[in-house]
Every structure is written in C-alpha cells, then in structure tokens.
Structure 1
Amino acid sequence: MSAASDPILFEAVSTPPRSLSDRGMRWLVVLSCLGAAIPAVLFTLLGAWPVLPFLGIEVLLVLFLVTLHRRWTKAAREVVRLTEGRLLVSTADGRGGRRVTEFEPYWTRVALEEEVEGSPRLLLVQRGRRVELGGFLAPEEKRDLARALSAALSRYRNPVFDNPQLR
C-alpha cells in the first residue's frame, strides 16, 4: 500500500495563536499614524522638522515587522499524523523551514514531562530519539494532545477485531 492511500488513524494540526486580526491590524495602522502625527506636529511647530522622516521611518518599520510576524505565524504549523505503519510529525516554521520526522508507531511512546515552572514538554520518544511536539500549544492543550495521541497509539498497538465467528 502506498503512503498516499494509507488510511489516517489520527491527525492533529496545531498552529500558533493569532491575536491580531485583520481589523486589529487596520486599527494598529491608524493608531500608529495618529500617534506619530501628534509629535510630528509638535516638532514642526518647534522648528525641529528634520525629525519628521525619522518618525515616519519608525512607524513604517514597526508596521513592517508586525506584518512580517503575522505572515510567519500564518504559515507556521505542526501536523501529527498516524497511519498504518508510520507516525509522521511535520513541522513548518513561518520562514519556509520544514522538518518531517517519521516514527514507527508500534515502538513510539508519548512522554509528558511536567516542569516545576512553565509549560510541560510533550515528547515523542523512540529508541533514544526525542521530538518535542506542541510548541504552539497551551499547557492544557498539550495534556489533551498527549492523552489523545496516547489513546490512538494504544488502539494502533492493540486493535479490536470484530469477527462474529469468534464470539
């Protein structure tokens, strides 16, 4: 059976939170321009007009960096996919970097390392290889993903056969 036709037994897609919507971005542009206009008027009235290009450059730089960050977070994602015979972890950062890690699902275990301070670490472990999952997720979401992935791997390892002849 080819990899393209394998049935998907489990799939989880996580993306970073995007707290600034398109409407919020428009408000940021308006407020940034208004915020720069007030000192621009004051400096012009005081005769310090050479400051104006620097104010404009600062506003443009801030808006450019926010736009760039929004683009990177929109493209970033992590996909965990369990199929017959393999467990794939595909991670894409927003800057074009991709990493695909393949595990043998029968020998892979899910480890959730609770830390004293901060967020727990969700790991896939197989024969010394360790890959961290859920970098975008909140602590409770990491715990939920760990439970769901552990249950899916358990169902994979211990299938239930419904054969009426064996009853």
Structure 2
Amino acid sequence: MIPENSSSATAPSGTPCTSGGGQHYTPQGNRWVFRRNCSLSPKQLLQWYLSLCAITLVIATGFLLAGFWIVLPFAGIELLLVGTAFVIYARHAADYEMIELQPNQLILVMADGTKLTQLEWSPQWAKLSYNGKYKAPLLFSHRGQQVKMGKFIAEKDKSALHRELKAALARAACAV
C-alpha cells in the first residue's frame, strides 16, 4: 500500500540541517498513515449483512410456508456463522499505523482491533532499521524500546519508504 503522506513539504530556514544540495530545511511535520486494504467499511458491511439476512429469511419463510420447516433453523445457523465472521472482519477493518514526525517529536500510533498504542519519542534518540528481506518490518528503536511497523505496506514500497523516513528522521533530529 502506498502511504498517505499528508504534509511532506519542508520549508527553507536559516538554521538547522543542510541537505546534500547545501540547502537548509526545517521539517514542518510529516505524517504517514498506513491502512489495511479493505473493500468494505464496517458500516457498509453491516448494511450488506442486513440485506443478506432479509433475503435469506424471506426465502426460508417461503420454504416454511411450503411445509419444509427444517430450512428455517439452518438459515438461522448460517446467518449466525456469517455474522460471526463479519464481526471478526469488522474489528480489524479499521486497523492502521501512523508515523508522525515533528522537529522535536516522533509519534508512532498502532491501532489493532480495539487496542490503540501511541508512543511519543525524541527524534534525536530514535533509530530506524530495515534489513530488506521479504516480510521484514520497519524497526524503530528508542532507548532500548523497539517497535515493528509496516504490516500494511507493500513489500515493493518498503525500501523507498525506509529511505524517506530515515532522511526525515535525520532532518527532524538535527532541527532541534
């Protein structure tokens, strides 16, 4: 998945870091948001499930009126199992990872189901590593603490993102 980079623009400044071209830049704040590639939102999934229930119950009621009462319990079991699968899917449909980088703060947010983890680190002490292997995560470390990110990022985009994040982290670290 290609990251949503909300504000990767940098503004010229008379201080901080010097890029390779000799220009001075101070980050204005960068944000990368990575989301699961889901075809239906939880609301759309609920609407689809309710329409499935209505159609199934109309057909099962027709069989009930024709004297085949056994169809109704099996239709109920089917709807219960499909509903359970949809609830499991919907709990993780809105999962995301966010990296926000400001001149004096690195914020990492991971939403997984009902669990939300937010870490605020100093960019001067944060390190980013990526070994380039298949399915390898981006690894952020800060004073002995490590966080793996990148499960929603396409493998082909990880190395370019690693370079981009590493450069942005270096600019933020020397901007303070």
- Normalising by the smaller structure, the TM-score range is 0.5 to 0.7
Give the corresponding residue for 1:162: none
Aligned pairs, number: 148
Higher helix share: 1
The aligned runs of 1:47-86 (5 Å cut-off) are 49-74=69-94, 76-86=95-105
Contact map agreement 2:33 2:98 (CA 8 A) in 1: yes
Identity of matched residues, %: 31
Amino acid at match of 2:38: R
Q: Over the residues paired in the alignment, what is the CA RMSD in angstroms?
A: 3.4
Q: 1:99 aligns with which of 117, 134, 138?
A: 117
- In the TM superposition, what is the alpha-carbon distance from 1:71 to its structure 2 partner? 4.8
| C-alpha contact (below 8 Å) 1:16/1:136 kept by paired residues | yes
Distance in 2, matches of 1:69 and 1:149, equals: 31
> Unpaired segments of 5 or more residues in structure 1?
1-6, 160-167
Matches within 5 A, 1:97-136: 97-115=115-133, 118-136=134-152
Partner of 2:10: none
With normalisation by structure 1, the TM-score equals: 0.65
Higher relative contact order (CA 8 A, sep 6+): 2
Q: TM-score, normalised by structure 2?
A: 0.63
**Matched residue type, 2:98:** V
- What's the offset of the Cα at 1:94? 2.5
Give me the whole-angstrom Cα distance separating, in 2, the residues matched to 1:24 and 1:100: 28
1: CA distance, partners of 2:59 / 2:140 = 53
The separation in 2 between residues aligned to 1:148 and 1:41, in whole angstroms, is 60
- From the two aligned structures, give the one with the greater strand fraction: 2
The unaligned stretches of length 5 or more in structure 2 are: 1-26
